[in-house]
């Protein structure tokens, strides 16, 4: 990954985009894709679609821009802030963390309070629900806090990108700024050739709260096929329960998901491209649902052939998600190569 692409990735990861508050991240993404897209459109909720025009079919490469987080729910007499979750925030990792409250006047720093181990009865330790936890911004009473924040202000962990060994990084919100990076970068690489299909790169909003942006885009755009790029669990980390292991490993390539929303013709096409181009991929079973935007796209209108491509990710929905950059770069290559040959494929099931 060259310096310019890495800078784009870091900028996405350093920009807060909790569900419902994705605007700043979407602006960054649009600025990047405008350099090579024929057109970029944004709908009323902020879903962004970039297109490189070609012929038939039309294929959308999508990721979701939003991340999990918190929100100011209430302010107590002593100035403490009570919070509520945005998306699937993990109550086991929030206490003792530095946070950033994103207000109309700028960022207000704070910490999620945790009673010191010296003062707790550790024999009775339990994990408080997020709604029971509080944020301390240093204010001394309700009025002082209310001067700085409002109910409904979004909150994210105060985390930066950490460089790890073996071309790996850790950061807040890899889920799923890496998906919109891959969609944008695949479009850029594909646009360097002579595309015979029409290719969209899409950055959706509000995936973490019910796939809402994908529902909007699927109905409005109505492409012939969709590939939804998202994180998937790398289950090779210590502590993964054996019953939840999938065989997906960090550094072994992007993941082609099979079953449920994943259209068999798309699965076959992507695997053929990977084989032809010498790109290593992993397989993953999805017996019921993918838990990604693919689940919304494939039931839009009369049904849109869809596929979920996963990027292996350790420690999902924590402030320290972990990614191998070679997996991400390979995913962009795979999608760009697929875009180049999409016109050679039919995305239908032969049942006659």
Binding-site residues for Zn(2+), in ranges, read: 64, 175, 208, 230, 317
Whether 252 is a known active-site residue: answer no
* Selected catalytic residue, list 207, 252, 321, 337: 207
Quick one: angle between helices 3-14 and 23-33, nearest 10? 160
Q: Report residue 351 as tokens.
A: 């049942």
CA distances from 152 to 44, 72, 147, 347 (A): 20, 5, 14, 43
Work out the number of other CB atoms within 10 angstroms of the CB of residue 352. 3
Distance CA 292, CA 296 (A): 8
CA distances from 351 to 15, 177, 265, 272 (A): 47, 38, 12, 21
Q: How many CA atoms lie within 13 A of 176 on its CB side?
A: 33
Distance CA 200, CA 193 (A): 15
Burial class for 287, CB neighbours closer than 10 Å (0-12, 13-18, 19+): exposed
Instruction: Give the residue among 54, 63, 57, 51 at the shortest CA–CA distance from 25.
Output: 63
Distance CA 284, CA 259 (A): 9
175's enclosing H/E stretch is: helix 174-191
CB 86 within 8 A of CB 207: no
* Backbone conformation region of residue 344, classed left if phi is above 0, alpha if psi is from -120 to 50, else beta: alpha
CB 202 within 8 A of CB 217: yes
Q: Which residues are designated catalytic?
A: 207
């Amino acid at each position: 990954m060259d310096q310019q692409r890495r800078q784009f990735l870091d900028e996405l990861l350093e920009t807060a985009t909790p569900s419902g508050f994705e605007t700043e991240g979407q602006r960054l993404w649009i600025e990047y894709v405008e350099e090579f897209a024929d057109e970029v459109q944004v709908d009323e909720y902020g879903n962004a679609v970039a297109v490189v025009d070609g012929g038939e079919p039309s294929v959308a490469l999508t990721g979701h821009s939003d991340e999990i987080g918190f929100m100011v729910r209430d302010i107590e007499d002593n100035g403490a802030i009570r919070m509520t979750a945005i998306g699937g925030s993990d109550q086991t990792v929030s206490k003792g963390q530095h946070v950033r409250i994103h207000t109309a006047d700028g960022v207000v720093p704070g910490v999620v309070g945790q009673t010191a181990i010296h003062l707790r009865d550790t024999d009775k330790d339990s994990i408080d629900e997020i709604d029971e936890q509080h944020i301390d911004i240093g204010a001394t009473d309700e009025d002082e806090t209310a001067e700085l924040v409002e109910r409904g202000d979004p909150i994210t962990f105060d985390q930066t990108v950490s460089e790890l060994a073996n071309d790996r990084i850790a950061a807040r919100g890899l889920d799923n700024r890496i998906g919109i990076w891959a969609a944008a970068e695949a479009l850029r690489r594909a646009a360097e050739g002579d595309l015979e299909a029409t290719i969209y790169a899409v950055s959706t909003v509000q995936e973490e709260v019910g796939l809402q942006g994908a529902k909007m885009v699927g109905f409005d755009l109505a492409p012939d096929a969709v590939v939804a790029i998202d994180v998937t669990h790398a289950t090779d980390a210590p502590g993964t329960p054996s019953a939840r292991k999938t065989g997906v490993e960090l550094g072994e390539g992007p993941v082609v998901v099979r079953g449920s929303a994943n259209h068999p013709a798309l699965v076959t096409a992507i695997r053929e491209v990977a084989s032809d181009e010498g790109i290593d991929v992993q397989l993953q079973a999805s017996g019921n649902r993918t838990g990604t935007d693919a689940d919304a796209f494939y039931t839009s209108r009369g049904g849109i052939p869809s596929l979920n491509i996963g990027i292996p990710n350790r420690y999902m929905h924590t402030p320290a998600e972990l990614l191998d950059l070679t997996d991400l770069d390979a995913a962009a290559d795979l999608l760009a190569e697929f875009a180049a040959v999409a016109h050679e494929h039919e995305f239908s099931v032969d049942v006659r």
